[in-house]
Structure 1
Amino acid sequence: MKNILLSTLVLLVVMSCKDKNATKERYLYDSNGSINHVSVVVENELWDGRVGEAIRDVLTKPTYGLPQDEPLFTLSQIPPKVFSDFVTKNRTILKLEMNKAPSIVFKDNVYAKPQKVIVVSGKTRQDIIDVISENGDKIVEVFRGMEIAERQRQMAKSQHKYISIKEKLGLTVQFASIYELAKERDKFFWFRKDITTGHSHIMIYELPYDAIEKNDSTVTQIIKIRDSIGQAYFKGRLDETVDADGNKVSSFMVTEDAYTPFHEETIIDNKPAFETKGIWELTNDFMGGAFINYTIEDKVNKRWVGLEGFVFAPSVEKRNYMLELEAIIKSVKID
């Protein structure tokens, strides 16, 4: 009898602990923070020295593919002694811990949700610097992945209703209803959203399977295709006007030659794809901006699927606009 009572008591204690843990998980606060904003929890003296420099070298290096230099992330330094209450709820946190074995740990939903907390430890300052430098690409990848997921979550609150995308292209892509249809052809869609000082664009299209060959000239092929699309659909304000000499002006979007595009192979929707970033401009005009292009190999349907975002936003930062476009493109699901 005593054994039965003891077993029952132990079981109740275990279940109580599980209930408390479940309750703690359920009642995590919602995370907050601006897009591309990272809180760095580190002592002032470390932040002002070589450790801080190592952090900034990784997290504030220029974002590739923008007309002007903009850092990957905006950083806020927080001394450990004031890291409590609402300041722990930021969505992305880099936390440094001294006098511990060198390591890096990636944690989810520690103080709020959704949240990514990266803890870097070391016995010395050089240990911390080495861990950060060796894992810089992974740190950036984790934080950017969180920001893309957050932007997708925000846009999901008000989804578009353009069912013809799925009907004509056999795919779905998620973006907010604020984007308006600018042009639609049989296998081509162009959507546009007005922003503070300009406009943001997304285009979705299909290419024949033989339109691109995977070889050393793939990036050149992709640039030629996007330039041909630009010439066909994205005309400048001076297009078809007549200049002072009586000549008809031709103005359309092309890839800027002076800026070498970034190009690499990647995976989108579990399919091989090419990522291309660069600068666009209008011929015979002064408009331009950044673009990001993903060309996806759809082997099942024997075709290529193209998704591109580009922005015109003079005199303002473009980093967050481009992250939104990347988030839209990476939401694609191909049937």
Structure 2
Amino acid sequence: MSELILDGSKILWHQERLEQWKRGERIVPITIDMALTQACQYNCVFCYANMQRNKPHKITFEIMKNFLDDCAEVGVKAISLVSDGESTANPIYEDVIVYGKKVGLDMAIATHGNTLTEEVLRKILPALTYLRFNFSAGTPQRYSEIMGVPVEKYYETCENIKMAMKIKKEINLDVTIGMQMVLMPQDADEIIPLAKLGKELRPDYLVIKHCSDDEEGTLGVDYDKYDDLVDLLKEAESYSDEEYLVKAKWSKILSKGKRNYSRCHGTPFHLQMSGTGLIAPCGSFFNEKYKQYHIANITEPGVRFKDILKSERYWEVMDFLASDKFDACSMCETLCLQDKTNEVLDAYKKGQHALTRPSGDLPQHLNFI
């Protein structure tokens, strides 16, 4: 099996897009991270999306069909249904996943997974590159407290994870099924119980990641306290075996929430969209107070994504983020989705990296950079 990169960027394998960028051309995103709604049945204590509410718009299947057609036409390679809402709360999500795969896009979804029935799993798993269950505690009561739902949701979701793995093996699917813990330092008591639970449920992996905060520290994440969790996280990783990987996102967990770059070059490669249909460059800027970064909305009549990509407004925003007028260290969230890609591109701009294609096998999930 090729490498599963859970703590890094796969941008260096996309040399054609990098060459276009180096020549100063206007590029098409490789990956688009989006949601189909801002709604969610959960109320997680670490939720960044709650701070990024914007004017509601309904995303219909017709809108998504046009959007996915445009993505396939212009050269987008992958769509991840993650972003700022629980996409399974929009009933179109099953058909969106299947249609996206049909037109040639790699499709993925991250979800609390509580509403995934066997029928749904059998429909969507063949069309997915990965399915990730957001599962941030290893015991029922703490799951309830951290994820803001009744205790029974813990047991129901565990059964859904087992069902997903059963179907994957039964029909020999390539889809990767994982679990993800968003770790706030005060919830360290759940690291080992969750690693053990994963060992019982047998997903392909469990990834333990940091919690992002906004530029004002609204969630109150104390990044210094992650240092105290190193031994626990190493113990959790020791539960890995040949078919179950436990991986901590070390580079971000131990970063103190700090960046080593000021300009943002990653958003044209890895665009984010809100569950309202809003196109902003990234999830840091969905809220109405960041209107200066808002570009367009795919739900507006007559608006097509392929036209937005060519618009002067789109590139005005992208160019601003890459300019000396923008400071990623102080003007947006900590350790964002584009962070690892930004590190690579910034090093190139500083003459520290040649952007050479890595040798060896291609990593898994190549188009989800």
Higher Rg: 1
Kindly indicate which of the two structures has a greater share of residues assigned to strand: 1
Q: Which has the higher contact order (CA 8 A, sep 6+)?
A: 2
